[in-house]
């Protein structure tokens, strides 16, 4: 018997050897051509080979066609239901994160509105160097935050993730009876 049959059916050497009633090392030696299967195990091997071709051996003569294949198992909807619940939860969580992101962006945008007015002040300042450094940090944090954390780009990415999860949830809900909302 070739390891092709084993590979075709997704069997390990241990599983096939168990079905044939031989030791795994005996099967391995048989597959490499170093030895033959013991007498009496050839028919089991022939049955398996013919079964992969859709045939059933009969005592003498040509093998008969095999009966119709078994139907696949009914779909297990539990994984779909679980994924639907997960998608809905993740979308809700991301909408919450988006709302927080938008609030943080509003704060950073308010900073950028305030910076020019703060810089335009011409009155006395206790420590001009410290004031300039603080304003640079104040503005830099706002610019970096909007670019990297909560500005239009990060918000659009989060909105895309939400839309993807919501669409996935819609499709899953269509597949599952009674899973609306």
Q: What pLDDT was estimated at residue 99? A: 94
Q: What is the pLDDT of residues 145-159, one digit of tens each?
A: 999 999 999 999 999
Q: What pLDDT was estimated at residue 71? A: 78
Q: How far apart are CA 21 and CA 10, in angstroms?
A: 18
DSSP string over 44-87:
HHHHHHHHHTTEE--SSSSPEEPPPPPPPPPP--HHHHHHHHHH
Place of tokens 């305030």: 114
Tokens found for residue 49: 């080979």
**CA 156, 159, 164 angle in degrees (round to 5)?**
125
* β-strand pairing of 55-56 with 64-65: antiparallel
Q: What is the pLDDT of residues 40-76, one digit of tens each?
A: 666 777 788 888 888 888 777 788 888 888 778 777 7
Q: What fold characterizes domain 3-65?
A: 434 Repressor (Amino-terminal Domain) (1.10.260)
Domain boundaries of the chain, sorted by first residue: 3-65, 78-175
Question: What's the per-residue H, E or C state across 93-112?
Answer: HHHHHHHHHHHHHHHHHHHH
Average confidence (pLDDT) over 169-180: 85
Q: What pLDDT was estimated at residue 181? A: 57
């Amino acid at each position: 018997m070739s390891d092709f049959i084993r590979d075709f059916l997704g069997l390990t050497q241990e599983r096939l050897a168990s079905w044939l009633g031989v030791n795994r090392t005996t099967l391995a030696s048989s597959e490499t051509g170093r030895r033959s299967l013991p007498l009496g195990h050839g028919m089991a091997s022939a049955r398996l080979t013919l079964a992969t071709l859709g045939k059933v051996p009969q005592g003498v003569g040509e093998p008969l066609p095999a009966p119709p294949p078994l139907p696949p198992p009914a779909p297990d909807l539990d994984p779909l239901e679980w994924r639907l619940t997960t998608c809905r939860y993740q979308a809700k969580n991301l909408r919450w994160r988006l709302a927080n992101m938008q609030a943080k962006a509003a704060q950073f945008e308010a900073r950028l509105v305030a910076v020019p007015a703060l810089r335009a002040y011409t009155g006395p300042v206790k420590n001009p160097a410290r004031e300039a450094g603080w304003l640079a940090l104040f503005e830099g944090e706002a610019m970096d935050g909007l670019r990297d954390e909560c500005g239009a780009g990060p918000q659009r990415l989060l909105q895309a993730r939400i839309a993807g999860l919501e669409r996935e949830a819609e499709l899953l809900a269509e597949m599952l009876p009674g899973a609306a909302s």
